[in-house]
Amino acid sequence: MNKKVVSFGEIMLRLSPPNYQRIIQTDSFNATYGGGEANVSISLANFGLDSYYVTKLPRNALGDAALNHLRRFGVKVDYIIRGGDRLGIYFLEIGAAQRPSKVIYDRAHSAIADAKVGEFDWNEIFKDAHWFHFTGITPALSDSAGKLTLEALKNAKQKNLKISCDLNYRGKLWSTEKANKVMTSLMNYVDIVLGNEEDAEKIFNIKASESDISTGKLDKEGYRNVAKELIERFNLELVAITLRESYSASDNVWSAIIYDGKNFYSSNKYKIHIVDRVGGGDAFAGGLIYSLINNKKLSESLEFAVAASCLKHTIPGDFNMMSIEEVKSLQKGNISGRVQR
């Protein structure tokens, strides 16, 4: 029987101008759907796990479309509830070269942001589950979403699920001060923390001293210290940090480290010419959860996750649609991109 994994968060309508246009110049938008936890859930379904996604969607055509989008990629939607006023929207202006990508949120008072404690049957949701995943985006949506996340975590912990959190700090949703207060309280329930090169600094004021993300300079030894401090401060089992060396919006070097309190592992580095970077961290989380839940070695889990997320950067949209075999092919060194025929 496939292992059941539950992810909880917000799926949104994503609107992007075509062909790298700016929002101020476009007269059309490409529409798709995405969101941190939904992206992870789709990766897990794609890798063959019993992947359930939990959220609240409005009873209208946009809610139906988001639901069907999840179904299309094999995600189980049995526990999604309906109601509320609206589906959240985000506008993504995709950057190129030295022009960065930009996001505009239109998600206030979305169905999940206004959902209340008691609306979800967590006892049923977590029945026979092995793993629960959430991100720091969900409690940032609203005070009620924060309370709902805490309710989910308490129930997951009572069921002895493994709990992972991608910190995913979003400065457009809350302040560093509020993020610190809320996320510190939630860490009491978390086993595994994932983050990028700046999340721990923004939320917990834990910084890699010699790094400067604005210039693309990252100090790997500094991030080892970040991982150590996170483990010690919150009594975690595992910390994984993705490292993005940004030379431009189009060209990055991608890698990660992982630490279990005793052993550090560093991944291979991939030079990426980016098609779409949104969802790259979520693809990493999906690859890591898939590997860990299947009892892969820590170093092997890290390499699979980094390769999976590297490939996600080549796919338009939020979702990673690479197969296990394609990820493993990249791990083996098949990096030329030659036509397969």
Question: Tokens standing for 71?
Answer: 């179904």
pLDDT of amino acid 49:
97
pLDDT at 218: 66
d(CA 200, CA 196): 8
Q: How far is C-alpha 321 from the geometric centre of its chain's CA atoms?
A: 15
The candidate with the shortest Cα–Cα distance to 327, out of 47, 38, 75, is 47
Q: Tell me the H-state helices in 159-219.
A: 176-186, 199-204
Taking each helix axis from N to C end, the angle separating 176-186 and 143-158, rounded to the nearest 10 degrees, works out to 20
pLDDT, position 210: 63
Q: How many CB atoms lie within 10 A of CB 106?
A: 14
pLDDT tens for the chain, residues 1 to 341: 589 999 999 999 999 999 999 999 999 999 999 999 999 999 999 999 999 999 999 999 999 999 999 999 999 999 999 999 999 999 999 999 999 999 999 999 999 999 999 999 999 999 999 999 999 999 999 999 999 999 999 999 999 999 999 999 999 999 999 999 999 999 999 999 999 888 999 999 998 766 555 555 567 778 889 999 999 999 999 999 999 988 899 999 999 999 999 999 999 999 999 999 999 999 999 999 999 999 999 999 999 999 999 999 999 999 999 999 999 999 988 766 654 55
CB atoms < 10 A from the CB of 36, how many?
27
Looking only at the bridges linking them, the beta strands covering 102-106 and 89-93 are antiparallel
Predicted pLDDT at 212: 55
Question: Two tokens at 45?
Answer: 């379904």
What pLDDT shows up at residue 197?
A: 81
Residue 12 parent element (H or E): strand 12-16
* Residue boundaries of the structural domains of the chain: 4-331
* Residue 306: per-residue pLDDT: 97
Q: What is the pLDDT of residue 215?
A: 54
Residue 331 and residue 310 in contact, taking contact as beta carbons nearer than 8 Å: no
Domain 4-331 CATH superfamily: Ribokinase (3.40.1190.20)
